[in-house]
A and B are shown apart, each in its own frame.
Chain A
């Protein structure tokens, strides 16, 4: 089975914890999280979608899904954790308990606040994991990366085209991920699941992302997202 895990456990860093989490804010005509889930609903390889949301927003999310998406039986909504890796761990536990984990199972994990993920990115993630243990989506940085010291002095100007900005999906061989989570010390130490996966001695393949696959975190991002959508609909 190929699962999608939608990570919607956070609140967005520029937001008060008590306000409406960004993934529920509308862009275009529907909430961000719905745009995101739709990309996975329409992908024929994905058989199940598990969405992990913050405490108190589970019933709310179920309402949204009922209103916007008809293929509801493909989706489970669960409670997220206190960070991304922890939330992913919760998704793995849920799959284990609910469906069982087999050798060939794949988990495509994706940020709920990246609604502009494309079918190509999802497919290449799944393809990559068939050959390697894991895949991580990224795009080359456009700006040159500068390394600075403690006194704000520039230490190094790095060569172009070797640094990438990380995006999602991050995709894993589910069985291997499940094994790694058994090592609690290792799981606790990491917020980034791919980093944890590498430290456990697994290889990770880079999948080329898209510059439009932005993460909507700030008010500015929200405006950019609306602009991107407007452009899409005007075409």
Chain B
């Protein structure tokens, strides 16, 4: 895939190295895919990385496993991260020699995906909701780090961002910390309607002056990052923590003076590990309400039989409130 150009490439099937062959059933489009598709990354990045098979959120059925670890037809979630060096104190998703499918190598938009058994997690059925496991795992990655980093006050958490990431972070917080007040701060009242499980939702410019948070999660990214982070620093209690999760192409200005004054902790989160994936699969499986909430943010499902349908799915992504999912039928 190049900028706004999708091409079909034939490759030899590689049955070497004990790889499992999976046929994708549902693939979900992420903002990162769109940035490649619409050419919104920096020129040198695009030149270096494209052409590339996009998409790193996917589930599928096992077609072939040379070592019989999976049954033919078994439903699996595919993990995009191919871990490199193993270090006990840094998670695999942060190491520079780890490979991320759809960024440093081809992603899941393939007729058949050859993948290591360690990159697959079994799921009880082929329900399309599991395609959101990757998104949910990113929330788990951040919340596990929050557990390690943040002071033990768990009264009020603020989640900035009413998009996909904000939704799953808020949802995971709701289920992992039942007594925590979860407050959403967003820009789109239509999106905020979906957060029925949150204790309170505010539009960015209507956040009451007096409101205070123990901890904050930034799920905004892009141009809104600076504004969101400065609002967090303003409203957070001393000693609080801010999880940074939104991707921004440009550098973001932040008020370090206030950070020093309040003794805040800011920490970065991106992607997720196998452990996070397993946790999100378990959450979806064990809590039907969580699955139900997640179904509501699958805003569009496109059946994709060929290149034309792929264009439709990518071009129309913006018209849905949340996720666009491709029912992969190539």
Residues of A within 8 A of B (CB): 16, 18-20, 24-26, 31, 55-60, 63-64, 67
Contacts and interface: CB of A to CB of B under 8 A. Distances in A.
A233 to B, nearest CB: 18
Contacts, number: 41
B177 interface: no
A18 B193 contact: no
B contact patch SS: mixed
Contacts of B197: 59, 63
Contacts of B189: 26
B193 A59 contact: no
Contacts of A25: 193
Given A18-B300, A59-B289, 20 more contacts: A18-B298, A19-B299, A19-B320, A20-B190, A20-B194, A20-B296, A24-B193, A25-B193, A26-B189, A56-B292, A56-B295, A56-B296, A58-B292, A59-B196, A59-B293, A60-B196, A60-B292, A60-B296, A63-B197, A67-B196
Contacts of A63: 196-197
Given A56-B292, A59-B293, A16 B196 contact: no
B192 to A, nearest CB: 10
A19 B323 CA distance: 10
Contacts of B292: 56-60
A24 B192 CA distance: 12
A55 B193 CA distance: 18
B205 to A, nearest CB: 17
18 contacts: A16-B300, A16-B320, A18-B300, A18-B320, A20-B296, A55-B295, A56-B295, A57-B296, A58-B292, A59-B196, A59-B197, A59-B289, A59-B292, A60-B194, A60-B292, A63-B197, A64-B196, A67-B196
Nearest to B195: A63
Nearest to B194: A20
Nearest to A65: B196
B302 to A, nearest CB: 10
Nearest to A17: B301
Contacts of A56: 292, 295-296
Interface of B: 189-190, 193-194, 196-197, 289, 292-293, 295-296, 298-301, 320-321
A20 B321 contact: yes
Nearest to B189: A26
A63 B190 CA distance: 17
A19 B296 CA distance: 8
Contacts of B298: 18
Contacts of A58: 292
A18 B298 CA distance: 7
Contacts of A60: 194, 196, 292-293, 296
Contacts of A57: 292, 296
| Max chain B C-beta neighbours (<10 A), residue from A25, A26, A55, A60 | A60
A31 B193 contact: yes
A60 B190 CA distance: 15
Contacts of B193: 20, 24-26, 31
Contacts of B289: 59
Contacts of B293: 59-60
B145 to A, nearest CB: 28
B50 to A, nearest CB: 30
Nearest to A61: B196
A58 B292 CA distance: 8
Nearest to A63: B196
A61 to B, nearest CB: 8
A45 B131 CA distance: 47
A19 B196 contact: no
* Closest 8 pairs (CB-CB, A-B): A63-B196, A56-B295, A59-B289, A60-B196, A59-B292, A56-B292, A18-B299, A18-B300
A133 B293 CA distance: 40
